């Protein structure tokens, strides 16, 4: 299910970003105010309001019990993802690539930032977290192998002499692809230690990305609040100027 969701969302995000760039080759100033354009705008606005159900159900205890009694948080999360990607796509169609007002340009920019940021939080954070778990398992195994290899080496004093006298220099050569011809227990210790060092570096790098993506979650919430404020202003402006035109 998650794999299918990832494929659908990734494909829709690609279409969304390409559709936004369409203003270089296509502009329809009358489309947003037409009946069809308005229908796309209303549908997009409604879909962009649906994602609010997930944070409301998750963060408000009183509503959490009432909502989750009928719909699980996992289902609400899937609804949050799908409506959060298809709503902006309909909104981009609604614009007709007419980006003339500061409100419309800002709303479109924030909307795209929310979608891209949400994609990073939803999928890249999950991927990095899983990578850390896998690397930690491999690291645990590699450290066990290193202890075993070192134990064998300690029992062979003659093999101890095969260890390089300058380990930093050896590590530098190994990092650029040069392997020293050291065999036996000494060579096994060196190769296993290099694997442990590589895995530790990969874990630290992924943990750095994980912290960054967790900050992106806070950014996602802030951008979402800004998005809904701009969306309310856009809808209010559309109603005001539309009714004034009717008069």
Write out pLDDT tens, residues 58-109. 888 888 888 888 888 888 988 999 999 999 999 999 988 777 788 888 999 9
Question: How many domains is the chain built from?
Answer: 2
| Residue 37 resides in a domain | yes
pLDDT at 18 (0 to 100): 84
The 10s digit of each residue's pLDDT in 108-147 is 999 999 999 988 888 877 788 888 888 888 888 888 877 7
| Residue 127 resides in a domain | no
In this structure, the answer to whether residues 55 and 138 fall within a common structural domain is no
pLDDT at 169 (0 to 100): 44
Long-range contacts of 117-123 (CB under 8 A, 24+ apart): 117/216, 117/219, 117/220, 117/223, 118/81, 118/84, 118/220, 119/9, 119/10, 119/13, 120/213, 120/216, 121/213, 121/216, 121/217, 121/220, 122/9, 122/81, 123/6, 123/9, 123/10
In this structure, the answer to whether residues 117 and 72 fall within a common structural domain is yes
In this structure, the answer to whether residues 105 and 140 fall within a common structural domain is no
The 10s digit of each residue's pLDDT in 144-167 is 877 787 776 666 665 555 555 444
Q: What domain range includes position 70?
A: 2-121+217-246
């Amino acid at each position: 299910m998650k794999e299918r969701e990832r494929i659908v969302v990734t494909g829709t995000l690609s279409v969304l970003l390409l559709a936004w760039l369409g203003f270089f080759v296509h502009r329809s100033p009358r489309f947003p105010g037409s009946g069809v354009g308005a229908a796309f705008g209303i549908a997009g606005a409604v879909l962009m309001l649906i994602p609010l159900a997930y944070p409301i159900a998750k963060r408000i205890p009183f509503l959490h019990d009432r909502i989750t009694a009928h719909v699980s948080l996992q289902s609400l999360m899937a609804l949050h993802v799908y409506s959060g990607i298809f709503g902006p796509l309909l909104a981009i169609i609604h614009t007709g690539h007419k980006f003339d007002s500061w409100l419309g340009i800002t709303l479109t920019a924030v909307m795209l930032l929310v979608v891209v940021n949400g994609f990073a939080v939803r999928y890249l954070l999950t991927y990095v977290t899983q990578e850390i778990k896998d690397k930690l398992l491999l690291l645990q195994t590699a450290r066990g192998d290193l202890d075993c290899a070192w134990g064998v080496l300690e029992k062979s004093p003659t093999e101890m002499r095969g260890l390089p006298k300058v380990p930093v220099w050896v590590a530098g050569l190994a990092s650029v692809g040069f392997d020293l011809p050291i065999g036996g227990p000494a060579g096994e210790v060196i190769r296993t230690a290099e694997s442990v060092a590589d895995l530790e570096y990969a874990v630290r790098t992924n943990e750095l990305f994980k912290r960054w993506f967790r900050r992106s979650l806070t950014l996602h919430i802030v951008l979402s609040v800004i998005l809904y404020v701009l969306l309310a202003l856009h809808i209010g402006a559309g109603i005001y100027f539309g009714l004034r035109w009717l008069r």
